[in-house]
A and B are shown apart, each in its own frame.
Chain A
Amino acid sequence: MRITLHVARDLLREALARNWVLGLLVGITLVLTVLGLFLRLDVVDGAIAGSKLFGAMLFDDIVSTDKAMRPVYMVAAGIGFFGGAMFLAVACSDFAPSLLSPGRIEHLLSLPVSRWQLLLGTYLGVLALSALCTAYGALGITLVFGFKTGFWTTALLGGSLLGVAGFCALYAAMLTSALFVRSAAASSAVGLLVLVMGILASARAPIEETLEPGLGRTLFHYGVQPFPRLWKLAEQCIRLAGDENFNPGLTARLVAGSLIFSLGMLAIAAWRFEKKDF
């Protein structure tokens, strides 16, 4: 495990030196700074009396703080889940192809490192990176609104963890695809495809009803079955962030689905990696 963690740590360090990661962190910091400096919330006795951004009035209804904050956190969770997944699917697409690039993979394999350790280390490193980015954004929003309104909640941080649970399925498929075709574009496309299939898998029953019985419906039924239900997971992430009808049992099953899909993908990746000549 020590070597796996070294590989993950090295990947994280390499990622943090890349421009796009710095760009993402700077972007999140800018949004948080704008919210922190230019959003004015007038809180009176636990209720928001008015809110202004850059001095312009946004709302002047008197709403209790927790009620007012719910939709904000829900929107943030939704954007974080889908926006984060899409951004990371593109931004992290280069890691596995770069790991497998000539001159690098031969050197890594010449070291006393197992192939599965390299694979797992890369996977964990990317997951740690996604957790770091989403946790940074979620923590920042929680702190900004917490200080401004006095309403403190860890719900958005919990939601960010569900976002990472969803992304782990995407990246497992991306990593596996890179072992078959060493291409960042293909890897990214596979990640986005899993996201789309995960959304379709969440609405399998209603979509099936719209299809004529026969081959098409059967293909759709079995085609989307292996994919984790990512839309449902996003829904629970949003509900958790907004503290609204969150279902822990269903969420546990959805997270388990995402993890099982990831493990399946990683098993294929490990099999392929062990067999592959470089």
Chain B
Amino acid sequence: MTAIQATGLSKSFPRLFGEPQPALRALTLSIPRGSAFGLIGPNGAGKTTFIKLLLGVARPSGGEVQVLGSTPEDRAVRARIGYLPERLHLPDAWTPLQFLASVARLKNVPVEPPLLERVGLGEATHRKIGGFSKGMRQRLGLAIALLGKPELLILDEPTDGIDPLGRVEVRRILLEEKARGATVLLNSHLLAETERVCDRVGILHLGRLVREGTLQSLTAQREGWVVKFTGGGDPAACGFVPHADRWTFDRPDVEALNAALGKAREGGAWVTEVLPRAFDLEDVLAEATR
């Protein structure tokens, strides 16, 4: 069962002069129900455009997208989605409870005041939103997204502006939602956050999906080695690249590594440590978008 199925999805934005500007190019992606999927990529990669297409806020130029088994235009489907935009506009003169009630009416779900407590706004229920900090606004946005226990949560930078302890709370909430069975689509620039919450990750670059898979499969690649030398010699001349107090060797094959190590030793260097290079999401992103 898939929560999101995009097939050959493309989106171009028309320009006054010249060719249309492509934002997404033939993206094919399947996100299983109940998973937490992290969407990462540099600015302008097409992440927000993809989210807008999922919600029917923008229409695709080509291909198709299915969300929870139907099209995004289907209102019944949108009632099952919780969405937090990157910059949610909030009515300053209202209280969080009033805004929550207003969205609940539009979604035709009961108002759930405990949601405000869950996101850490229990003390501010009757305060005007106008006096809220950026982090408090973001928490309210999260509460709005959680209204009606949605089957699919689409969150665009949910911890933007939230303090480190608040981020831990948000992460806990997202994991609770995932445990409840909700599918989470997380678009975040904080890669550590994506690593902690998501089990699958997709990397977008220039409108194309350049990597996709489980976090393990993406980061478990051993595409190199980290070596520590002491003594003299010139490891750089043997193919090693300086990296902090160590050297990296980008070729994965052991034969090449040993040949380079031998050459470095001949030059007077002593090898004190050799480790396979462990890739994290940052390395994967850098490598995928190079």
A106: contacting residue among B79, B85, B91, B98, CB under 8 A: B85
B89 touches A18 (CB 8 A): no
Residues of A within 8 A of B89 (CB): 98, 101-104, 107
Partner of B88, one of A3, A103, A112, A114: A103
Report B-chain residues with C-beta under 8 Å of the C-beta of A105: 57
Q: Which residues of A contact B86 (CB under 8 A)?
A: 103
User: A7: which B residues are within 8 A, CB to CB?
Assistant: 106
Question: A62 within 8 Å of B by Cβ?
Answer: no
- For residue B118, CB closer than 8 A to chain A, the reply is no
Say how far A250's CB is from chain B's closest CB, in angstroms. Answer: 42
| Number of interface residues, chain A, beta carbon within 8 A | 25
Q: A221 at the A/B interface (Cβ < 8 Å)?
A: no
A277: B residues at CB distance < 8 A = 13, 52, 57-59
One of B76, B81, B87 near A103 (C-beta < 8 A): B87
Partner of A109, one of B55, B91, B102, B103: B55
Known: A103-B85, A107-B89. A6 touches B107 (CB 8 A): no
- A112, B55: Cα distance in complex, Å: 10
Known contacts A17-B94, A277-B57: does B103 contact A111 (CB below 8 Å)? yes
Instruction: State the Cβ distance, B259 to closest chain A Cβ, in Å.
Output: 55
Q: How far is the CA of A13 from the CA of B85 in the complex (A)?
A: 23
Q: What per-residue 1/0 map shows which CB atoms of A54-73 lie under 8 Å from chain B?
A: 00000000000000000000
From B76, B88, B105, contact of A6 by CB (8 A)? B105
Q: In the complex, A3→B78 CA distance in Å?
A: 14
Name the interface residues of A69-120: CB closer than 8 Å to any CB of B.
Answer: 98, 101-114
- Interface assignment of B30: CB less than 8 Å from any CB of chain A: no
Q: How far is the CA of A65 from the CA of B13 in the complex (A)?
A: 67
Scan residues 244-263 of chain A and give those whose CB is less than 8 A from a CB of chain B: none
Cα distance, A278 to B13, chains bound together (Å): 11
Which chain A residues lie closer than 8 Å to B81 at the CB level? 110
Using Cβ atoms and an 8 Å threshold, which residues of chain B touch A18?
Answer: 93
Query: Please, which residue of chain A has its CB at the minimum distance from the CB of B83?
Result: A110
Contact of A278 among B57, B88, B103 (CB under 8 A): B57
A98 nearest CB neighbor, chain B only: B89
In the complex, whether B75 has a CB less than 8 A from a CB of chain A is: yes
Q: Which residues of B contact A113 (CB under 8 A)?
A: 75, 106
A102 to B85, CA, bound (A): 9
Query: Nearest residue in A to B78 (C-beta to C-beta)?
Result: A112
In the complex, A277 Cα to B85 Cα: how many Å? 15
Q: In whole angstroms, what is the CA distance A176 to B108 when docked?
A: 28
A14 to B128, CA, bound (A): 13
Cβ of B107 and Cβ of A109 under 8 Å apart?
Answer: no
Docked Cα-Cα span, A139 to B98, in Å, equals: 30
Q: In this assembly, does A10 line the interface, its C-beta being within 8 Å of a C-beta of chain B? A: yes
Minimum C-beta distance from B72 to chain A (A)? 9
Residues on A with beta carbons closer than 8 Å to the beta carbon of B85: 103, 106-107, 110
For the complex, is B161 an interface residue (Cβ under 8 Å from A)?
A: no
Most buried by B among A103, A110, A112: A110
Closest CB of chain A to B14's CB: distance in Å?
9
Q: Say whether B56 faces chain A, with CB atoms less than 8 Å apart.
A: yes
* Contact pick for A112, options B58, B76, B93, B154, CB 8 Å: B76
Q: Is B106 in contact with A110, judged by CB distance below 8 angstroms?
A: no
- A111–B144 Cα gap in the complex (Å)? 11
* Cβ–Cβ contact A278 & B106, under 8 A: no
A104's closest neighbor in chain B, by CB?
Answer: B89
Q: Are B87 and A110 in contact (CB under 8 A)?
A: no
Given known contacts A18-B93, A277-B52, A112 and B87 CB-to-CB distance under 8 angstroms: no
Please state if B52 and A112 are interface contacts (CB–CB under 8 Å): no
Closest Cβ neighbor of A14 among chain B residues:
B91
By the criterion CB–CB under 8 Å, are B105 and A112 in contact?
Answer: no
Q: Are A278 and B58 neighbours in the complex by a CB distance under 8 Å?
A: yes
Are A3's CB and B106's CB within 8 A?
yes
Question: Using Cβ atoms and an 8 Å threshold, which residues of chain A touch B78?
Answer: 110-112
Per the bound structure, the CA–CA distance linking A109 and B102 in Å amounts to: 14
* C-alpha spacing A18/B75, complex, angstroms: 31
**CB-contact partner of B56 in A6, A17, A102, A109, under 8 A:** A109
Contacts of A14 in B (CB 8 A): 91, 93-94
A278 touches B79 (CB 8 A): no
Write 17 A-B pairs (CB below 8 A) sorted by A numbering: A6-B105, A13-B98, A14-B91, A14-B94, A17-B94, A18-B93, A101-B89, A107-B83, A109-B56, A110-B56, A110-B57, A110-B85, A110-B154, A112-B75, A112-B78, A112-B107, A277-B57
Known pairs A13-B98, A101-B89, A102-B87; list 16 more (Cβ under 8 Å): A13-B94, A98-B89, A103-B85, A105-B57, A107-B144, A110-B56, A111-B106, A112-B75, A112-B78, A112-B106, A112-B108, A113-B75, A277-B57, A277-B58, A278-B52, A278-B57
- Interface residues in chain A, defined as those with a beta carbon under 8 Å from any beta carbon in chain B: 3, 6-7, 10, 13-14, 17-18, 98, 101-114, 277-278
Listed from nearest, the 5 A-B pairs whose CB atoms lie closest are A17-B93, A104-B89, A277-B58, A112-B79, A103-B87
